[in-house]
Amino acid sequence: MNVRRTRTALVAATAVALSVALAAPAMAAAPAGTGHEATRQAVEAAVKDGVPGVTVTAKDGRGTWSATAGVGNLKTGEPRSADDRYRVGSITKTFVATVLLQLEAEGRLSLDDTVEEWLPGLVRGNGHDGGRVTLRQLLNHTSGIFNYTADEDFGRTYFLKDGFFEHRYDTKKPEELVALAMTHKPDFQPGTSWNYSNTNYVIAGMVIEKATGRPYGEAIRERIIKPLRLTATSVPGTRVTVPQPSSRAYSKLAETATGPTYDVTKINPSIAYSAGEMISNSTDLNRFYSALLRGRLLPREQLTEMTTTVPVDEANGYGLGLMKTELTCGVTVWGHGGGIHGSLSEGVTTRDGRHALAFNLNGDWSGNMAAVIEAEFCGKGQEIEPTRIRSTLFMRP
């Protein structure tokens, strides 16, 4: 069994969108007359494709629109709610990057500082050298540090059926996650290439804690959640449940998208830590990304740093916890996507923050998320290949 391919198989039909180039004002909303009907159709198509349920909310110049499809509970048939809270996986990364950039703006650190300066001895071994890795390289995934979720034993323990049900309530410390990464060689030398690594953001969370003297989750609450009044957003730590209102989360816990479906709602998210443990809902995510791109959370200099990207592929670029995607109609959107057991989520907005979209699938093995984004911003999307929009899930191997 090639466990390095496990998460790819589970999310092969999904994708994560975001962006970084300026979109012209005329591109800030879907073409006139399309409304959100294409988005509704794309959401319903995801359910036909096998996703248990979807919840979606969009906000633009015409107001706020929400829709649901499918069910939130396979046993009872209870529908999903527009107010559902859900695990957002790697969307956590944008919150973490925002806090680090705020600390830079306050003069408490520099993104050109090395990991070794802040966390001596943490990144060391098998060719890893924290003295050569900057905080900026953590945030834009150019550090070369091995992705701990790609470790085969980790995959068997936490992503496949037998391991998951035995270990779903394990508490993992961030130092343990980084130490696991250090048992592997780096993907490349710092600054020479790009590769998505959850280890980068575990380390980033630890730097926040070193710089502030308190848990990184408290910094997110004080600096982002409270000021923006994100009432459905939380950093759960080791809490295994999702606050109500919420739906159940489902997974195949296998290398294939077939076979039994398991309820994986309860899980100790410390295995994701600051790389992907947060909980939110669609309304809060839209508010967060709109506020971020409008400059409400960062000074202009730091927002410019955040939106300066390195190329990922022809359609995508990655900034500092923020990804850009140019859609097929020419619109560019910014944001992040994320996945964790039984939950796939997206939060994106145009560069001016005026048109935002957030949605969640409560199954992790099916559904064309790229099509939902294309439908909302381009008025079409059914024919979009699921892999066009770069996957940046927490579970990415």
Task: Round to whole Å and give the CA distance between 193 and 23.
Answer: 27
Task: Round to whole Å and give the CA distance between 329 and 309.
Answer: 21
Q: Strands across the sheet with 310-311, in order?
A: 63-70, 53-60, 356-361, 343-350, 332-340, 323-326, 316-318, 310-311
Catalytic residue among 90, 246, 280, 290: 90
Residue with tokens 């994106």: 348
Classified as helix, coil or strand, 363 is: strand
163-166 long-range contacts, Cβ below 8 Å, gap at least 24? 164/253, 164/262, 164/264, 164/341
What six digits make up the tokens of 199?
């280890």
Cβ-contact 386, 15 below 8 angstroms: yes
Tell me which DSSP letter residue 296 carries.
S
Cβ-contact 82, 66 below 8 angstroms: yes
Classified as helix, coil or strand, 13 is: coil
Helix residue ranges, H only, the chain: 6-10, 37-48, 92-105, 115-118, 135-139, 152-158, 161-167, 174-182, 198-212, 216-220, 282-293, 300-306, 369-378
Q: What does residue 331 show for φ and ψ, rounded to 5 degrees?
A: -70, 140
Return the bridge partners of 280, or none. 86
Active site residue 345: no
Task: Round to whole Å and give the CA distance between 329 and 73.
Answer: 36
Task: Round to whole Å and give the CA distance between 347 and 328.
Answer: 18
What six digits make up the tokens of 369?
């998320």
Return the bridge partners of 114, or none. 134
Task: Round to whole Å and give the CA distance between 19 and 12.
Answer: 21
Task: Round to whole Å and give the CA distance between 92 and 181.
Answer: 20
Q: Residues in the chain, how many? A: 397
Residues classed as catalytic? 90
